[in-house]
Amino acid sequence: MASALYDPHHGFYTKGPAIGSQDGAFNTNAMFPAFAFAVTLAIQQAERLVGEPLRVIEFGGGTGELGAYITKFSPSSLEYIIIETSPRLREQQKKKGLTTTDDIKMLPPGPTFVLGNEVLDAFPVHRVMSDGSGQLMEMYVGLDTHEEFTEIPGALSTSRLAKRLHDEKIYLGRGQIAEICLEFHDFLKKIQSVVSKGYLIFIDYGDEAANLYSYTQRNGTLRSFQSQRQTFDPFDSVGEQDLTADVDFSALKTAAQESGFIPVGSIQQGPWLYNIGIEKYLTQIDDSQQAQTDIEQLTKLTDLGSTFDIQVFKTKGLPDGLGLHLS
C-alpha cells in the first residue's frame, strides 16, 4: 500500500491524481466551498477560545481546493501552511497561491489549528489474519506462478501489530482480516513538536476499534477506487487507483494522548456542520439554492462507502468546543 500510493515514481499520490473532479478517484468534502466555510468558522471559534490568532497547518492538502476556499473566506492575515508528501500535489497547491512544504520540521512551534481532511485514511496499513486461536499472520504482497501480485501469509513483521490488538482488547475470529495502521504515533508526535497550543481537527471515515474489528467486518475495510468507482481488487492498476482503509479512531485517540493532546470528542459530519453554524453560508453567497443543495450533499456525503466523522483534539488548558455541541 505504501508503494502503490507513495512510490517516488509510480505512486498514486506521487503522480498528483485528480481528486474530487468528475474523473477523480473519489468524492471529497474539499470539492464544496460550503465545507471550507464550516472549517473557517471552526478556525475562528478556535481563535476565540485560545484568545489569539492561530496559524493553520493542513495535512495532505490534495489539490489545494480546501485551502484555497478557506483562505478566501478568512482575513488576509491568516497564515495557512500545507504539509503535503506528494511533489505534484504541492505544485498544484502552489499554483493556487498556497504555502506548502513536505517538511514540518522547518516550522517553529506556535499557536496552531491543525486540519486533516481524509489524510489518515490514506496512511498505509498492515493487513493481518487470525486463525481464531489468538495466532496472527501478516498478509504480505508477493508474486504467484504467473508473476501476478498475490497475498502471501507470514509471521508478523513487528510485534506492535499484536500489541495494538491486545491493547484494544480485540480478539479476531477465525479467518478474520484486520488492517492496522502504525503511523499515528509518529505523525502526532511531529505535530506536537510544532503546536505550542491550539486545536486539531481530523475529518475521516472510520470507527472505534470494537466496531471496526467486529466479526461482521471479517474481510477488513481495505478498498480500492478509480474514477469514482470501487474496483474491489487492490492489485489491479497498481499506482493508478486509490487504496484506503477505515481509520481506527481508538488508536488515533491513544496516539494523540500519548503525544500530549486531549481528545475533545467526535461527531458525525452532518450534525457537526449545523453545530458549527453552516447555515450562515446561505446568507453569504449569491446562489443560495446551490448553497442549500451543497449543504444537503455534505450532510449526507458518504465517500468510499463510509460516513465522515469529525475528531477534535486540543492542547492542555483550553476549553472544549469546535462544534461538538450546539453553540
Ligand X SMILES: C[S@@+](CC[C@H](N)C(=O)[O-])C[C@H]1O[C@@H](n2cnc3c(N)ncnc32)[C@H](O)[C@@H]1O
The contact set with ligand X (CB under 6 A) reads: 13, 19-20, 28, 30, 59-62, 83-86, 89, 117-119, 122-123
Question: In terms of CB distance, is 17 or 220 closer to ligand X?
Answer: 17
Question: In terms of CB distance, is 84 or 179 closer to ligand X?
Answer: 84
Least separation in angstroms between residue 61's CB and ligand X is 6
Least separation in angstroms between residue 183's CB and ligand X is 7
Question: In terms of CB distance, is 168 or 204 closer to ligand X?
Answer: 204
Question: In terms of CB distance, is 10 or 48 closer to ligand X?
Answer: 10
Q: Give the C-alpha distances (Å, rounded to integers) separating 125 from 122, 222, 226, 288.
A: 9, 9, 19, 41
What CA dihedral angle connects 41, 307, 199 and 211, to 10 degrees?
Answer: 160
Least separation in angstroms between residue 205's CB and ligand X is 11
Q: Which residues does 82 contact at the CB level (< 8 Å), separation at least 6?
A: 57, 58, 59, 61, 64, 67, 90, 93, 98, 99, 100, 101
Least separation in angstroms between residue 1's CB and ligand X is 11
Residue nearest to ligand X (CB): 60
Least separation in angstroms between residue 186's CB and ligand X is 9
Least separation in angstroms between residue 11's CB and ligand X is 9
Question: In terms of CB distance, is 19 or 301 closer to ligand X?
Answer: 19
DSSP letter at 109 equals P
Question: In terms of CB distance, is 118 or 138 closer to ligand X?
Answer: 118
57-81 burial, b at 16+ Cβ within 10 Å, e below that, comes to bbbbbbbbbbbbbbbebbeeebebb
3-state secondary structure of 96: coil
| Cell representation of residue 28 | 471529497
Cα(303)–Cα(28) distance, integer angstroms: 7
For residue 294, give the nearest of 77, 73, 32, 94 by alpha carbon.
Answer: 32
Q: Residue length, the chain?
A: 327
